[in-house]
Amino acid sequence: MTIKGEVTQEDIKRGCARSSSNCPITRSLARIFAANSYISVGTRTMVIDRKVEYLPSKFRVFIRKFDDDQPVKPFKYTFTTVHDYELKEVK
């Protein structure tokens, strides 16, 4: 399944460093996946509804910089998952 999204300036502003459940990427993914989805983003993998996915390299670089309090910018992303998920309806 292909996932497309964006980490916004608001995600960066409201996200917390070293927080797998409230980092900017997790906040961004929460807008895409179903409302009751469990999302946790680590430094190498992410867990979505108890299914492990490898973290795209763009995410790993962003997390390293964000966690080290280095400047980061909003970005758009596309990645392919191994598993299928329920997504929010696009209006």
Q: Domain locations in the chain? A: 2-80
3-state helix, strand, coil in the chain (%, to 5): 25, 25, 45
Residue 91 exposed, middle or buried by CB count within 10 Å (0-12, 13-18, 19+): exposed
Q: What is the pTM of this model?
A: 0.91
What distance in Å separates the CA atoms of residue 59 and residue 81, rounded to the nearest whole number?
14
- Specify whether the backbone of 18 is left (phi greater than 0), alpha (psi in -120 to 50) or beta: left
What string of pLDDT tens digits covers the 91 residues of the chain? Answer: 999 999 999 999 999 999 999 999 999 999 999 888 999 999 999 999 999 999 999 999 999 999 999 999 999 999 999 999 989 876 5
